[in-house]
Each structure stands twice: as C-alpha cells, then as structure tokens.
Structure 1
Amino acid sequence: MALQVQAKPLNVVVTTGMIGDLVTNIGQDKVTMTALMGAGVDPHLYKATHGDLRRLQRADVIFFNGLHLEGKMQEVFEKLARKKPVYAVTSEFPKDAILHFGQAPDPHVWFDVSLWEQAGRLVLEKLIQHDPANQDFYRQNAKVYLQQLADLNAWVKDQVQTIPAGQRVLITAHDAFGYFGRAYGMEVRGLQGISTATEFGLHDIKRLKDLILERHIKAVFVESSVPKKFLKSLVAGVNEADGHLAIGGELYSDAMGLSGTPEGTYIGMVKHNVNTIVGALK
C-alpha cells in the first residue's frame, strides 16, 4: 500500500536560529518552522513566553539544542516530551565529542561544523520518522546541505591556517568557542564561562590582560548576544599598560544575525565569524 502524502506541512518549533536553519534546509516546503529565539537573543537566559508555550503545545515536532544551552526551559521540554516528540539535536553525539567546563557540558557544538553535520543527520532522521511519505525529499535536501557543510568545514580549516601560529588566540566575552578552537586549532579564552549567567571578577580581567600583554595579542572580539562593556574595559586596561589591543569585530555566538541577511543563515554566520577573526589576527 502506498504511503499517504501528508496533507499539510509538519509544524516544527525550534529554540535557536541555528537549529531552525537545519530544519529549513532539510524540510523546505514540507515543514513550517518557527524559531523561538531570534537574532541577538541569549539562550542561556531565555525564558519562554506565554506565546512560546502555545507554539510548543501546537507543534508536531520540537527540536532544541540540549546540553543545558536553554537552561531555563529544561523543565518545559521534559513536560512536553511526555505528550509529543521533543528532541535535543545533540542527544546522539558520542560522549567523547562533548567538551566540558568543569562539570558542566559545553553546549556550543555548532562552532565545530563537522559536529553540526551530525545534528543535521538527527534532524533528517526525525523528520523522516514523523513524515515518512516525504522521506526521499528530505534525504535529497539533506544530501545537498550536508555537502555544503562539509565544504564549509574545509574552508574554515584553510582560513584559520593563514593566521600566524602565535596569534591563533581567540578571546571573547564568554567561552562559546571551545569547539571552534578544538576543531580548527585555536586557543580560546573567555571572560566568562560557557554560560553568560556565570559570574566573573577582577582577577579574570587581570588574567586575560596579562596573557594579552605577554603574547602580544592584537585583538579581542565582542559578541552579538552578550553585553560589550566588559570587553571594552579589558581593551582600555591593556592599552593603559602600553599594550596595543583593539576590538577585532563582532562575532555571532549564541544567536545568528537578522533574518534576510547573510549572517541570518548558519553558513553565513560561520563565514562572517571566520572572516572577522582572520582579518583581525592575521
């Protein structure tokens, strides 16, 4: 008996734009996708609104990042999972692929493009599971998009290699780029821990200031979803101590850019970040 083609698109709700980009590229017109967290939104601190809860309750399928990225929404997902399909895109990653900051898992997996390919495969698997009639459509879309991600991964590796080895140090507001550092050979330092809710003090600023002066690092980077004042005070402190430090540019860390811009796509966001980092440190 032939599979019945689904009459209307799957209603998919996701937390972040990065996950939404996977769903949009693989699902295309066979899904309607809603991302709860837009440009400039910090997922570590995000609280679901009443409108979000309604969208989640109406969804056919829900995808979230997991690894405590959406810390304040964890209970919501646990309750919803009793009634409907709720998936963390990181749930099938090998344990040794996950970085940790102390005891806490680092949730910023999308900065290793090869890991994000794995998240895409999980999205593919679950879309097929809940809409098997369109499985060939999803597979073909995923084949094209995952090849684009493989090409992107190779490009990032090549670009980072153009930075002099001693200058491959990435300093940002919080430790969002650990996976990027591991995958592409950069030392990564953040003023805060892996969550923007982490407290930091004067000793953290002094530690980074000493490192910058010792290594003659040329630039640090602000983030689109994190307040910039603390990085700016670090730059001022280094320059008062006869260093030569600049803000190298703004990186997208926990959120993509505005919809309709190149940075509003995952590939565009990664390219923007890499071009910004290479341009400032090279």
Structure 2
Amino acid sequence: MKIIKRLEILILMIFILGCGRQDKVDQKINEKLNVIATTTMLGDLVKEIGGEKVNVTILMNNGVSPHSYQPKLSDTKNIMKGDLLVVNGLYLEGKMEECLKNIDKNKLLVIGDELNKNKLILMESGEYDPHIFLSLELWKDAAEILEKRLIKMDVKNQDYYKKSKDEYIEKLSKLDDYTREQLNKIDKDKRILVTSHRAFNYFAREYSFETNYVKGISSEREIGINTINNLVTYLKDRRIKTIFLENSAPESILNTIVQTSARQNWNVKIGGKLYVGSLGDKESGADTYIKYYKKNIDTIVQGLK
C-alpha cells in the first residue's frame, strides 16, 4: 500500500510541475476514441460530434469555474490513458496552462488556438477573451475544428463525424433564430447586461447588447469598494434595475451591489442566474450546451423586458 501511495504522489507531482511527457498508451474501450474535455461545454460538444464513436471524460464538474480549477491526480490518469485532450485555451483554464505545454501535440486540441483570430475579441491586456462558448458563431467553428481532428484520428468514421457535425450546426442555427426572436422582445434601450464578471462580450457583439460587470475577465479577481461604487453609479445613471448572477460566482457579490444601490436610493434586483463557466445538472434544465444557452436567453428576456 505504501508503494502505491508513493507512486500516486509521484504522478501528481509530475502533473503539477509540468505534466511530464505523455507516453503513447492505447487504452481504447471497444475501439472507441477516449476523449478528455476540460469543461462541461466542451464535453457536450465532443458528445455531439463524436457520438457513439467516442468515450468522453470531463475534468471539471458542473458549477466549477474554469478560471480557478486545480488539476487533480485523477485528471493525470485520465489524460494519460486518453487519445485526445480537448481544451478551450486562451487562458480560460489558467491554472492548467503550464501543464498543457508538455502534452504530446498529437493528443492535444486547443480550440482557441485553432480559431480565426480576426473573430476573437482582443482585450486591453493584450489577451483574447476566452469565453468563446458564449458565441454561437464561434461554437460552430469549434464544432468544425473538432470534427477535423476526430477524422484525422479516426478516418474510417469520417462520414459519421461529418454527419454529426452538420446536424449539430443546424441545431445551433435554429438556436440562433430562437435567440434573435426572443431578444426582440427587449427594447433596444434596455439591452444592457450587467453580470458578475466580464464574460458576455461575444454575446453582446452578436446581439447588439451593452455589457458591464463586477469583475474582469477572470472571476477570481477581488473587487474593491471603488469598483462597487462605480458600478452603482453606472446603474443609476443608465437607470438599470436588473443585474444577473452567474452559476460559478458567489451571490454575495451581487447582494453587495443591491445593498449599496439601495443606500443610494436606487432599487436593483437580481434577475436570475446565468450559466457561464459550466453547464448545469439535469435538474437545472441546462445540462447540454443548447439547453444552457437557451436557458440563459430565457432568463435575460424575463429579467429585462
């Protein structure tokens, strides 16, 4: 038992300090590709495109912020036996970046690295906004990117992957139609989305919204009293009465905004919970990407119209 325990500790240390080189390990189950995805959104994408031809393991649980996720020993084991690791990239999974540098490139797909950079939003920091999953246009591109990699790894099933991808993109197009139809219920002067952190830039660009937020790109950063007061002033000046919680952010942040606004004679309410860094569980009705996105739209419309 002591030998096994020491071995587990050694593996974990290798992963945290640099992940080591990944040996080629053929651990296919029933000849399916073993695909590891970092986030629940990517996991759902792999299931949609890969279907019955892949086994999917998702590293992050529902409700976990990718910005703060810490790799675990079990992740090491899953990655080592997997055929492909699918990552969002663009520093969304910030605490895993150093580890990813040492993984065999043939076993790694970083979606953000494969996207057309002209479609990405460049931030003041010089980094690209990583919340590509809140753009239906970019999510279609992600589906195309994943399809190409799966075909490269499993060419005998290329027709299957292409069909799955085409069907999924059609579903995303219908979701875009639904989104536009629902958002048309909101007056243009009310299309202002205030959330826990700066995650909705792509959404705002595609559907002509203005956004504001409590925190920056990373939901991990602390907030100060000046930030709170500035946001309350913004809410009062723009006559905004609804702000939105995110599923991976503490409600206490927005409660502070509500209380501070009340002290300044401006009543603000929390208009509901938006799903950002992860899908929800089955009971939430947001357990697939399409349900997740649609639920966000319904919450926004209900809160702002």
Structure 2 CA distance for aligned equivalents of residues 196 and 210 of structure 1: 22
> Residue 160 of structure 1 is aligned with which of 183, 187, 190?
183
2:253 corresponds to: 230
Structure 2 CA distance for aligned equivalents of residues 185 and 90 of structure 1: 23
Deviations 1:125-175 (CA, angstroms, capped at 9, x unpaired): 011110111111111111111100011122212222221111111111110
1:272 corresponds to: 295
Alignment of 1:39 with 2:89, yes or no, is: no
Structure 1 CA distance for aligned equivalents of residues 147 and 116 of structure 2: 18
- Shift in Å, 1:94: 1.6
Alignment of 1:51 with 2:79, yes or no, is: no
- Alpha carbons 1:101, 1:193 under 8 Å: kept: no
2:276 corresponds to: 253
Structure 2 CA distance for aligned equivalents of residues 172 and 7 of structure 1: 44
> Residue 94 of structure 1 is aligned with which of 89, 111, 116?
116
Structure of larger gyration radius: 2
- Alpha carbons 1:68, 1:74 under 8 Å: kept: yes
> Residue 69 of structure 1 is aligned with which of 82, 88, 92?
92
- Shift in Å, 1:230: 1.2
- Alpha carbons 1:218, 1:246 under 8 Å: kept: yes
1:21 corresponds to: 44
Answer with 95-104 or 17-26: which moved more.
Answer: 95-104
Alignment of 1:244 with 2:262, yes or no, is: no
- Shift in Å, 1:239: 2.0
- Shift in Å, 1:260: 6.7
Alignment of 1:112 with 2:152, yes or no, is: no
Alignment of 1:137 with 2:160, yes or no, is: yes
- Shift in Å, 1:259: 4.5
In angstroms, what is the RMSD of aligned CA positions? 1.4
Give the TM-score normalised by the residue count of structure 1: 0.94
Unaligned 5+ runs, structure 1: 1-5
Structure 2 CA distance for aligned equivalents of residues 226 and 67 of structure 1: 20
Deviations 1:87-120 (CA, angstroms, capped at 9, x unpaired): 1112222212111332222100111111100001
Answer with 210-219 or 156-165: which moved more.
Answer: 156-165
More RCO (CA 8 Å, sep 6+) = 1
> Residue 228 of structure 2 is aligned with which of 190, 205, 208?
205
1:195 corresponds to: 218
Answer with 127-136 or 94-103: which moved more.
Answer: 94-103
- Shift in Å, 1:78: 1.2
- Shift in Å, 1:209: 0.4
- Shift in Å, 1:261: 5.1
- Shift in Å, 1:20: 0.8
Alignment of 1:81 with 2:91, yes or no, is: no
Question: Sequence identity of aligned pairs in percent?
Answer: 35
Write the letter of the residue equivalent to 2:139: W
Structure 1 residues 7 and 256: CA distance shift in structure 2, 3 A:
closer
Unaligned 5+ runs, structure 2: 1-28
- Shift in Å, 1:40: 0.4
1:269 partner SS: helix
- Alpha carbons 1:57, 1:80 under 8 Å: kept: no
Give the paired residue count.
Answer: 276
> Residue 177 of structure 1 is aligned with which of 168, 175, 200?
200
Answer with 93-102 or 124-133: which moved more.
Answer: 93-102
